[in-house]
Amino acid sequence: MKNKKIIIGIILAMAIAAGSYFGVMHFKSGVPSLDEGFGILQSEVEFRNVYPGWSGSAPLTIINGKDRDRTFSISLEQPNPNKLKQFYQVFPEEYYSWITITEPEVSLKAGQYHEQVIIFAMPEDVHYEGKYTEVRIRVSDITPEGLVTLAVESRWYIITAELESS
């Protein structure tokens, strides 16, 4: 009997952990609501001093307005090369595989929000030191609609560690 309770407890804990990882709806304080449209809560994310073999993650919170249900696609996009910050360059497309969007498509009911993690993992065997780069995480409304669609972007700055002076 006691064992059964423990097993149920473990299953519950695993479900809660899986839920928070895979972005099941959370209802916590601090997330603003929107009457119309949609938005994201992370305007900028900076990973500074990353090095080969390192991995980490950052959240992406999508907030859907109260006006209607929507479906979103989440993708990596190049920033406009003419609008980069000084000393920054476009994060190369060939390295997009370092960034994992855990849920590339999300459907939300009116007034709901959703949180997922975006994982950055730099492979062991790459030479990409001392770079200041930018890539965008774009959230697009792909609900079938008219000609004009909306998207919002989180600006991701990825700065790789400098070479060690020998």
Give the nearest distance from C-beta 131 to another protein in angstroms: 12
Give the nearest distance from C-beta 165 to another protein in angstroms: 9
For another protein, the closer CB: 7 or 150:
150
* C-alpha 153: how far from chain center: 10
> What element of type H or E holds 143?
none
Between CA 149 and CA 166 the distance in angstroms is 52
Cβ-count burial of 103 within 10 angstroms (0-12 exposed, 13-18 middle, 19+ buried)? Answer: middle
For another protein, the closer CB: 6 or 148:
148
- The residue ranges that bind another protein (CB under 8 A) are 32, 34-52, 54, 56, 58-59, 63, 65, 77-83, 90, 125-129, 136, 138, 140, 145-155, 161-164, 166
Residues 6+ apart with CB under 8 A from 115: 20, 23, 26, 59, 60, 61, 62
Give the nearest distance from C-beta 18 to another protein in angstroms: 23
Q: What is the DSSP letter of 28?
A: -
Give the nearest distance from C-beta 146 to another protein in angstroms: 3
For another protein, the closer CB: 95 or 155:
155
